[in-house]
Structure 1
Amino acid sequence: MDDFYSRSGPAYSEVPDIVHFSSVDIDQARSVLNRFYYPVAVGTPEGAEGFGLGVEVIQLGPLTVGQISFAGPVSLVVAELDAYHVSMPTTGRMQARHAGHEVVAGPSTGVVFGPGNPVYTMHDANSAELAVKIERDALEQELAGLLGRPVRGPIDLPPAIDLSGGLGHSWSRLVRLMRDELEHTESLIYQPLIAEQLRSSVLSGLLLSVPHRYHDELTGPVGAGPPRAIRRVVDAIHDEPEKPFTVADLAAIAGMSVRSLQEGFRRHIGCTPMAYLQSVRLLRAHETLRRADPLRMTVAAVAHRWGFAHLGRFASAYRTRFGEAPSDTLRRCG
Structure 2
Amino acid sequence: MYDVFPRPGLTCPEVPDILHFSSVDIDQARTALNRFYYPVAVGIPDDGEGFGLGIEVIQLGPLTVGQLSYASPMTLAVAEIDAYHVSLPMVGQMQARHAGHEIFADPSTAAVFGPGNPVYTMHDGNSAELAIKIERVALEQELARLLGRPIEGPIDLPPQIDVSSGPGHSWSRLVRLLHDEVAHPESLIYRPLIAEQLRGCVLSGLLLSVPHRHHDELTNPGTAGPPRAVRRAVDAIHDEPERPFTVGDLAAVAGMSVRSLQEGFRRHLGCPPMAYLQQERLRRAHESLRRADPVRVTVAAIAHRWGFAHLGRFASAYRTRFGVPPSETLRSSG
Same fold (TM over 0.5): yes
User: Which whole-Å deviations, capped at 9, do the CAs of 1:289-314 have from their partners, x for residues lacking one?
Assistant: 54566677765665555444566654
- Give secondary structure in 2 for the equivalent of 1:97: strand
User: Which whole-Å deviations, capped at 9, do the CAs of 1:174-211 have from their partners, x for residues lacking one?
Assistant: 22111211222221222334322222222122222222
| 1:283–1:33 CA distance, 2 compared to 1 (3 A) | same
Q: Which stretch of the first structure deviates more once superposed, 3-12 or 246-255?
A: 3-12
Instruction: Give the whole-Å Cα distance in 1 for the aligned partners of 2:208 and 2:244.
Output: 25
User: Which whole-Å deviations, capped at 9, do the CAs of 1:256-306 have from their partners, x for residues lacking one?
Assistant: 122221222122212222222232233334344545666777656655554
Q: Which stretch of the first structure deviates more once superposed, 157-166 or 78-87?
A: 157-166
Instruction: Give the whole-Å Cα distance in 1 for the aligned partners of 2:292 and 2:23.
Output: 55
- Give secondary structure in 1 for the equivalent of 2:223: coil
Equivalent positions of 1:181-330 (< 5 A) are 181-291=181-291, 302-303=302-303, 306-308=306-308, 313-326=313-326, 328-329=328-329
- Give secondary structure in 2 for the equivalent of 1:107: coil
- Give secondary structure in 1 for the equivalent of 2:86: strand
User: In the alignment, is the contact (CA less than 8 A) between 1:191 and 1:309 conserved in 2?
Assistant: no
Partner of 2:177: 177
Give the share of equivalent positions with the same residue, in percent. Answer: 77
Partner of 1:129: 129
How does the TM-score come out when normalised to structure 2? 0.89
Partner of 1:4: 2
User: In the alignment, is the contact (CA less than 8 A) between 1:84 and 1:113 conserved in 2?
Assistant: yes
Is residue 120 of structure 1 aligned with residue 120 of structure 2? yes
Partner of 1:84: 84
Shift of the alpha carbon at 1:332?
Answer: 4.2
Partner of 1:165: 165
User: In the alignment, is the contact (CA less than 8 A) between 1:87 and 1:110 conserved in 2?
Assistant: yes
User: In the alignment, is the contact (CA less than 8 A) between 1:196 and 1:246 conserved in 2?
Assistant: no
Instruction: Give the whole-Å Cα distance in 2 for the aligned partners of 1:256 and 1:185.
Output: 39
Partner of 1:154: 154
User: Which whole-Å deviations, capped at 9, do the CAs of 1:42-78 have from their partners, x for residues lacking one?
Assistant: 1112232121001111111111111111111111111
User: In the alignment, is the contact (CA less than 8 A) between 1:50 and 1:71 conserved in 2?
Assistant: no
Q: Which stretch of the first structure deviates more once superposed, 62-71 or 93-102?
A: 93-102
Give the residue type in structure 1 aligned to 2:71. Answer: A
User: In the alignment, is the contact (CA less than 8 A) between 2:248 and 2:258 conserved in 1?
Assistant: yes
Equivalent positions of 1:7-156 (< 5 A) are 7-9=5-7, 11=10, 12-156=12-156
Shift of the alpha carbon at 1:139?
Answer: 0.6
| 1:206–1:78 CA distance, 2 compared to 1 (3 A) | same
Instruction: Give the whole-Å Cα distance in 2 for the aligned partners of 1:305 and 1:133.
Output: 30
Instruction: Give the whole-Å Cα distance in 2 for the aligned partners of 1:133 and 1:220.
Output: 28
Gaps of 5+ in 2: none
RMSD: 2.4
Shift of the alpha carbon at 1:235?
Answer: 1.9
Give the residue type in structure 2 aligned to 1:113. Answer: F
Give the residue type in structure 1 aligned to 2:268. Answer: H
Give the residue type in structure 2 aligned to 1:53. Answer: L
User: In the alignment, is the contact (CA less than 8 A) between 2:227 and 2:268 conserved in 1?
Assistant: yes
Instruction: Give the whole-Å Cα distance in 2 for the aligned partners of 1:288 and 1:60.
Output: 30
Give the residue type in structure 1 aligned to 2:172. Answer: S
- Give secondary structure in 1 for the equivalent of 2:229: helix
Instruction: Give the whole-Å Cα distance in 2 for the aligned partners of 1:35 and 1:331.
Output: 49
User: In the alignment, is the contact (CA less than 8 A) between 2:13 and 2:61 conserved in 1?
Assistant: no
- Give secondary structure in 2 for the equivalent of 1:202: helix
Shift of the alpha carbon at 1:241?
Answer: 2.6
| 1:316–1:8 CA distance, 2 compared to 1 (3 A) | farther
Instruction: Give the whole-Å Cα distance in 2 for the aligned partners of 1:288 and 1:133.
Output: 39
Shift of the alpha carbon at 1:330?
Answer: 5.0
Instruction: Give the whole-Å Cα distance in 1 for the aligned partners of 2:122 and 2:331.
Output: 64
Shift of the alpha carbon at 1:238?
Answer: 2.0
